[in-house]
Structures are given as C-alpha cells and as structure tokens.
Chain A
Amino acid sequence: MKYAYYPGCSLSSTGVEYDISTKKVAESLGIELWEIPEWNCCGASSAHLTDHLLALALPARNLAIAEEKGLDVAIPCAACYARCKATEVEVKDSKEMQKTISEVIERQYTGKAQARALLDVFVNDLGLQSISTLVNKPLKDLKVVSYYGCLLVRPPRLGFDDAEDPQSMDKLIEALGGTPVDWAFKTECCGAAHATTKSEVGFPMIEKILTAAKEAGADCIATACPLCMSNLDMRQTQVGAKYGKNYSLPVFYFTELMGIALGLNPEELGISKHFVDALGIVKKLNEAAGRRDTA
C-alpha cells in the first residue's frame, strides 16, 4: 500500500508528534508514505475566508503533484483534509472549475488523486482486522472518547463515516484493545478558529468538550486534528483555570494510541511533547499489563 503523504504546516510545528507517530505507525503497518516534495500550505483555515478560488487552488497544487505520481493522498490533519477534499470535489463536479484551477496553479489536476483522511486509510483500506493482529500491547481497560471534531466527517455526502455518530475511530480503539466510550460531543466544534484570536469565544467551546469527556468517564481523548489537539491539550490548563476545574485529561492523536498498542516506544512517538501529561497513563497501562503477565 502506497500513498502520497501530506502532513501540512501544523504537523511540522505544533502537531509535530502527529507527524512522528503517523510515520512510525505507517512503517509498522507496512504502509508506504511518499511525502509530497516541497508541499505548500493548504490555506486552512484562512484562505476560504478570504477568497474562494485561492482556497481551492492552494490544496490543488499538492494534489496535482500526487496525481502526477498516480497516488491518492493520505492526510492526517482534519483541517487540511477538509480543504483538500473540497478542492477534489469541486474539480470533479465542474470541468470549468478544473480548467480554472489548473490555470491558476499552472499544473494539471483532474481530481483523479483523491484526498483521503489518514483515519479512513487505516480503518477502511488496511482494515481493523489487519491492525488488531499486529497489536501486542493492547490498550486494556483504557477508556477513550473519540473526538472526531467538526471537519473530519462533514459534509455528509463526502464523508467516509456517519456525520452525526461516526464510528471509525471508536472501532479502531476497540481493535487496539481499548474501551471506546460513547459520548455526545464526537463532532462538536472546539472553536480552534477562535482560540488564538478571540479566546472568550473559543474557551467556552473547549470547556464544554472537556467536561463532556470527563462526564462520560473517559481516561483520555483521542483526536485526529492538530488544531483540536492544541485546543484540548495545550489550552486545557488555561481553560481549567478560567472555569475553576482540573480536567487532567490526556489527549492523544489516534496514531499515538496505535503506536502504543503496536508496542512502539511512547517517547519515540512524541508523546512527551504533550502539555497535559500523557506518559503517566501509558506507564500505568504498561504496569497493569506487566502485572497481568506475572499473574
């Protein structure tokens, strides 16, 4: 299995551990990722608020490079995925738009190279069966709420999962030996667009999600988006302070949880880079496994 790989800007800075864990996990699973050389920013989430054509053209360049190689594009970041998918669909829907975009990027893009969410690739191309057979450190008793965020499964006609009650990440957690916890905030927006520019709007949105996860009885949150990660992880203490709460909820990229279950070193997966301590819970998981082994 081979895909073009589009990490996006966040994965080379705030979400660097998503990039690291993606690459390590893909390697363990035998998926070849060909990183698009000299890829550019897809414009999320500013271009589409400024100019529609620019918002379509920026992702198109990356897709066009992948198309030349004959590869679909695996995209970990939910925001990048949403923008790339929007371009793919508009190009497929309209020959005129295809022409316009190809002229703007001065490359040919016909919509043949598809934008694929990394989660979709793992769950639906590789398959849960194949993943579970490779699990050697199951996430036993780890209660995980899957947080898909707002961009991964919308709009419904483009989605690879149900837009209201998506299941793919939950099923993945199950395949990794963990306990998926159902909750009602799987697709509620965390307000990443506002955390930096207008925190008084962004913070209540983060607060609601963290509280819901806590009330659902989760040990941790799994996510597929670096913007959600910054919001829920980096700002967790800040939001907690504002609302007088101590959530202590580690947030993982789903790729990190996959890495742990596949037996990779948590440090090497980049888990030490989180703001809310996530290594502790992994350590506990390993200790419990150790006890089970000796008993």
Chain B
Amino acid sequence: MERIELTAAWAEGQEVLAEVTKESGVRASKCYQCGKCTAGCPVAFAMDKTPREIMRLVQLGLMDEALQSQTIWLCASCDTCSTRCPREVDIARMMETLRIIAKRKGFVAEKKMDLFHDLFLKSVEKNGRVHELGLILGFNIYGMQPLKDAHFGPSMLLKGKLSPLPHTIKDNGEVKKIFANVRKRGGKL
C-alpha cells in the first residue's frame, strides 16, 4: 500500500473539510473510531470503505479519497449509525453531505444512483410530484438497461399502481419557484 504523507494531505484537505463541517454541522473530530456505525450498518457488506473508515479519512483531511468512495453513495440513509453513535456524531448526515459535495466536485462513484436522483428531482420540478412510471422508464433507458424490472410493469398497470401519464399539480408554479429559489441561493440542482 502506498504510504500517505499526512502533513501534506492535511493541508490539502483543509478547504473541503471546512466545507463539509460547515454544511453538515458534524464535527468529525468527535468520532473515536469505535466502529459501532459499521457494526450495525445494513449496507456495510457492499461498501468499499466502512462508514468508520470514511470518518477516519475526514479526520485526517483525506477528503478526495472520502469523496471518491462508493460508500457515500451506498449509504441508505437509514440512520442506524447516527442513532447508536456513542459520541452523538451524525454519521448519516456526514455521508449525505459528502455525497452532495462529491457531486458538486464531479466525483460520482455511483453514476446510476446519481442519475436516478437527478431524474427524480426533474420529475418533481416539472410536475410537482414524482411520476413513478416515467421515472423508472427514464432511469432504465438512460441507465442502459431498458428491460430491468419491466416484468412488473403490466401487473402494476393492471393493479392501478402505475399511471401512464404524470399527474401535474395545479400549484401556480410554486414548486418550480422553490427549485428556482434554491438555485438562487447557490443550490446546484
């Protein structure tokens, strides 16, 4: 394994660390590396780094490595870690913030997940609500797997669970304005 020069890495990571700390409100320095987060994490089995290791990277200012990790995308936001953390570190919130910043910096380790969330929010911005059929179709087409889960389609339609057309709410453009106002305040949507 490559040796890390910690002093230089620390200096290099400062800016992003400050950004992460400010946006998340989570002080990584509180973490004492007990691993209880990882021990209970339902997705840990699939991660390239355990949640504790992500916290460690942030503690040492190794921000790029944290931001490029799959882990921050695989986090299911179930809050088990934050609920049980003996140091009251909101790890889930840290993951969420790292993901937002990773996207901003163009580090997207899980392209499909990112695509899904983009399409989801596009649907919300356009219609005020999510059009599930449109979302799934769009995701499968853009995600280059047009037949994924297609077998659910017919029965879903029959059961009245998917409507072929989106439902657009009559909100006088309020939801669109919410998106616009968030963008005005620097939100990268």
Residues on A facing B (Cβ under 8 Å): 9-10, 12-16, 38-41, 43, 45-54, 57-58, 61, 100, 103-107, 150-151, 154-156, 163-164, 187-189, 191-194, 196-198, 200-201, 204-205, 208, 234, 272-273, 275
Cβ of A194 and Cβ of B132 under 8 Å apart? no
Contacting residues, chain A, for B74 (C-beta < 8 A)? 194, 198, 201
Interface positions of B (Cβ within 8 A of A): 23, 42-43, 45-46, 74, 76-80, 82-83, 96-97, 99-100, 103, 110, 112-113, 116-118, 120-121, 124, 128-130, 132-133, 136, 139, 143, 149, 152, 155-156, 159-163, 167, 169-171, 174-175, 177-179, 181-182, 185, 187-189
A151 and B78 contact, Cβ closer than 8 Å, known pairs A14-B132, A41-B130, A49-B99: yes
Q: Is B43 in contact with A43, judged by CB distance below 8 angstroms?
A: no
Beta-carbon contact of A163 and B178 below 8 Å: no
Give the chain A neighbours of B45 by CB distance below 8 A: 204
The docked-state distance in angstroms from the alpha carbon of A9 to that of B130 is: 6
Q: Which residues of A contact B116 (CB under 8 A)?
A: 46, 196-197
* Whole-angstrom distance between the Cβ of B103 and the nearest chain A Cβ: 7
16 A/B residue pairs, CB under 8 Å, sorted by A:
A14-B156, A15-B161, A16-B159, A38-B170, A39-B169, A40-B174, A41-B130, A46-B116, A50-B117, A57-B182, A106-B181, A154-B82, A188-B42, A191-B42, A193-B77, A197-B116
B43 near A273: Cβ-Cβ < 8 Å = no
B129 x A12 contact (CB < 8 A): yes
Given contacts A9-B129, A51-B100, 10 further A-B contacts (CB under 8 A): A45-B77, A47-B124, A54-B178, A58-B124, A105-B181, A154-B78, A155-B79, A155-B83, A192-B76, A208-B42
Contacts of B169 in A (CB 8 A): 38-40
Q: Is the CB of A14 within 8 A of B161?
A: yes
The CA-CA distance from A46 to B181 in the complex, in Å, is 18
CA A100 – CA B185 in complex, angstroms?
10
Interface centre among B74, B99, B124, B178 (most CB of A within 10 A): B178
**Alpha-carbon distance A197/B139, docked complex (angstroms):** 9
Cβ–Cβ contact A53 & B185, under 8 A: yes
B129 touches A41 (CB 8 A): yes
The closest CB in chain B to the CB of A150 belongs to B78
Task: Say yes or no: B128 contacts A40, CB within 8 Å.
Answer: yes
- Residue of A whose beta carbon sits closest to that of B75: A193
- Name which residue of chain B comes closest to A57, CB basis: B178
Q: How far is the CA of A52 from the CA of B19 in the complex (A)?
A: 14
CB atoms of A196 and B124 under 8 A apart: no
Cα distance A58–B176 when bound, in Å?
10
Contact A61 B178 (CB under 8 A): yes
A192 to B, closest residue via Cβ? B76
Closest residue on chain A to residue B163 by CB atoms: A13
- One of A103, A188, A189, A193 near B181 (C-beta < 8 A): A103
Q: How far is the CA of A130 from the CA of B128 in the complex (A)?
A: 38
Q: How far is the CA of A193 from the CA of B179 in the complex (A)?
A: 23
Look across to chain B and name the residue whose beta carbon is closest to the beta carbon of A275.
B155
User: Which residues of A lie under 8 Å from residue B118 when comparing CB positions?
Assistant: 50
Q: How far is the CA of A51 from the CA of B177 in the complex (A)?
A: 15
Distance to closest chain A CB from B169 (angstroms) = 4
- Cα A51 to Cα B161 with chains together (Å): 29
Choose from B46, B82, B96 the contact partner of A48 (Cβ within 8 Å): B96
B178/A105 in contact, CB under 8 A: yes
A100 to B, closest residue via Cβ: B185
Q: Which residues of A contact B171 (CB under 8 A)?
A: 38, 40
Contacts of B46 in A (CB 8 A): 200-201, 204
Indicate if the CB atoms of B120 and A46 lie closer than 8 Å. yes
Q: How far is the CA of A185 from the CA of B133 in the complex (A)?
A: 31
Q: Determine the chain B residues whose CB is within 8 A of the CB of A39 once the complex forms.
A: 169
